[in-house]
Structure 1
Amino acid sequence: MPDDASLCRTPDAVQSFLEGLYQSCRELRGGKVADYIPELAKVDPNLFGICLVTADGQVFEVGDTAHLFTIQSISKVFVQGLALEDHGRDYVLARVGVEPTGDAFNAIILDEASKRPYNPMVNAGAIATTSLIAGDGPTERLNRLLNMFRRYVGHDIVVDVATYVSERATGDRNRAMAYLMRHFKMVDWDIEEALDLYFQQCSVMVSCRDLAVMAATLANQGVNPMTGDRAVEAGYVRDMLSVMYTCGMYNFAGEWAYRVGLPAKSGVCGGIIAVVPDQLGIAVFSPPLDGRGNSVRGVRVCEAISQEFGLHLFDSSRGCHYFLEHLGGKERLISLSKENS
């Protein structure tokens, strides 16, 4: 194990590490851009950004961190939180399970015994979760959804209409899931209305930096570290991170937990978020995907960051790792675990 001094990180050292990681990972050429939604196929595969935001609001970034893209499946984490706030843990759990599937994210499959979708991170579970959002009609529900995302990112956001229309036109597989769930009374709404909101949720525009702030908000017990606004009740952050850890990377979730060891969520946009509870949020954006729908560069970047800073939740050396904190214009080293706080 390296000594404590070698694990200390000033802001310049953190930034330097990210820049070196960016240069090495940008040479990766594996994977391909998602094309089953026509609008996603138009994205530039060379776009690449990395951003870290700490729970006290420090930002480290490199690459295309301001480029806007649609959030896609990363939205599922935050909509789960809104559904939990609207209905509570027991009600949501009666409609959507929390078990990993080992199947593809768009598999048309429900739990054989309970008839629930397996978890909120696969499409079936996400559609059911979205259908739990409270509101008097589709406009109010969409506004509540957008306001929820605004609290996480700290500014107004919009839905990309072209992507929404593209998803709606090619969403028959999702329709099949929705009708199956309505048959088993897991979805109560009109199917097209529920799917419209789901397609709009996936078409929200964000940047890599936005995603890092969203991840840092979860790391900070639901409070946006940049604005101080509460985005979600603290008591539900545990639920969100738990499902992210076991189900957030689709049928790569087990290997991700083994190699990276952090709650995370990917999307076919090429984004990945990861959360180090009480410490920081990580976001990577790179559109080319592997065969499981995860960003090729994103997986490599997160694995490298976890290893470099000892962030794996079960790494016994985590108490030796430090970042720099700014207090009143002064700097002091702080631990990345609570052992030395």
Structure 2
Amino acid sequence: MQILLSSIINHNRKYTELGEVATYIPELSKANKNHLGIYVVTLDGEEYGEGDFDVKFTMQSISKVVTLMLALLDNGPEKVFEKIDMEPTADTFNSISSLETRNPQKPLNPMINSGAIAATSLIYGESCDKKIERILKFTRKITGNKEIGINYDVFRSEKETGHRNRALAYYMRSTGVLTGDVEDILDAYFMQCSIEVTCKDIARIAAMLANNGILPWSGERIIPAQYARIVKTIMVTCGMYDESGEFAVKVGIPGKSGVGGGIMAAVPNRMGIGVFGPALNKKGNSVAGLKVLEELSRELDLSIF
């Protein structure tokens, strides 16, 4: 496995030149576009890292998987999906048009920004601080990394430039999808996106999902198997924004990307994978990271289809 990962990283590093780091959140523009790394956690306890796998980056939309799990634990599927649909979309991740044109007027899925903001609002905690405390505690437990925290420079950058997310949230407040203080919910959302991780951390989250909700290294159940199935299914259909269909064809495993450059992928009953490459394509996904996962899936026959 180590030799294979080394070969794949070396073979695909050239693709970092084809993308650009995110600039609409100014703090993310400081990333090194040439970084590329991968970490694999198998369900029988083996772990492998290659390339820039130990470089820290913010979760961004990968955090939507964590908050969906927590929202399900707090509320159950019926209540969550009363507020958020589970349908894929061809619109961009921050689209507002579907909220206006659909009936009922609720977000299409929990992996786009509107749906993720709604999911964060459902997490128990009467304030931003209480919500983010629970999100951090949950993330640390799944990853086994007690040092995980928030990059406050990124948080401030997100809050200062998050006008589209603010518009989405206030629109949902007007239709009853959101209840409570909108700015407080948005602060929690911006903070969850600013949680700092490595490839190892997201590979461990993916390994728990791949193991149907159980931590492979301890045997502890984190979420019910039913919730793990729900999350993995939504990752397949919605996890790569409006590139989810192409990802399903070329890679064929549940995945979730973030504009920080990370991609988290869960191969059911086999392994969790974390990839990092901050050079993005026009749809907000890591250019080289996609190539790495495509080659790894092909070499190890990982597709679930």
More moved, 50-59 vs 34-43? 50-59
Amino acid at match of 2:154: T
Secondary structure at 1:27 match in 2 = helix
Secondary structure at 1:304 match in 2 = helix
Partner of 1:244: 235
Partner of 1:213: 204
C-alpha distance in 2, partners of 1:228/1:43? 36
1:63 corresponds to which of 51, 54, 76: 51
Deviations 1:201-253 (A, max 9, x none): 00001001111111111111222223444332322001100100000001111
- Number of equivalenced pairs: 301
C-alpha distance in 2, partners of 1:216/1:198? 24
Secondary structure at 1:53 match in 2 = strand
Distance 1:278 1:260, change over 3 A: same
Partner of 1:324: none
Partner of 1:303: 294
Secondary structure at 1:121 match in 2 = coil
2:144 corresponds to which of 138, 154, 164: 154
C-alpha distance in 1, partners of 2:117/2:186? 7
Contact 1:154 1:226 in 2 (8 A): no
Amino acid at match of 1:121: M
Contact 2:145 2:201 in 1 (8 A): no
Offset of residue 63 of structure 1? 1.0
Contact 2:127 2:184 in 1 (8 A): no
Amino acid at match of 1:215: A
Unaligned runs of 5+ in 2: none
Using the size of structure 2 for normalisation, the TM-score is 0.96
Offset of residue 66 of structure 1? 1.2
Q: Does 1:83 align with 2:71?
A: yes
Deviations 1:136-164 (A, max 9, x none): 33322111111110111102211111100
Partner of 1:20: 7
Distance 1:64 1:131, change over 3 A: same
Secondary structure at 1:60 match in 2 = strand
Partner of 2:126: 136
Secondary structure at 2:149 match in 1 = coil
1:127 corresponds to which of 109, 117, 127: 117
C-alpha distance in 2, partners of 1:71/1:290? 17
- RMSD of aligned Cα (Å): 1.1
Q: Does 1:232 align with 2:223?
A: yes
Structure number with greater Rg is: 1
C-alpha distance in 1, partners of 2:162/2:173? 16
Contact 2:57 2:261 in 1 (8 A): no
C-alpha distance in 1, partners of 2:155/2:117? 15
Percent identical among aligned pairs is 46
Secondary structure at 2:14 match in 1 = coil
Between 1 and 2, higher relative CO (CA 8 Å, sep ≥ 6) is seen in: 2
Contact 2:20 2:281 in 1 (8 A): yes
Q: Does 1:43 align with 2:34?
A: no
Partner of 1:333: none
Using the size of structure 1 for normalisation, the TM-score is 0.86
Larger helix percent: 2
C-alpha distance in 2, partners of 1:131/1:94? 13
Unaligned runs of 5+ in 1: 1-13, 315-341
Secondary structure at 1:215 match in 2 = helix
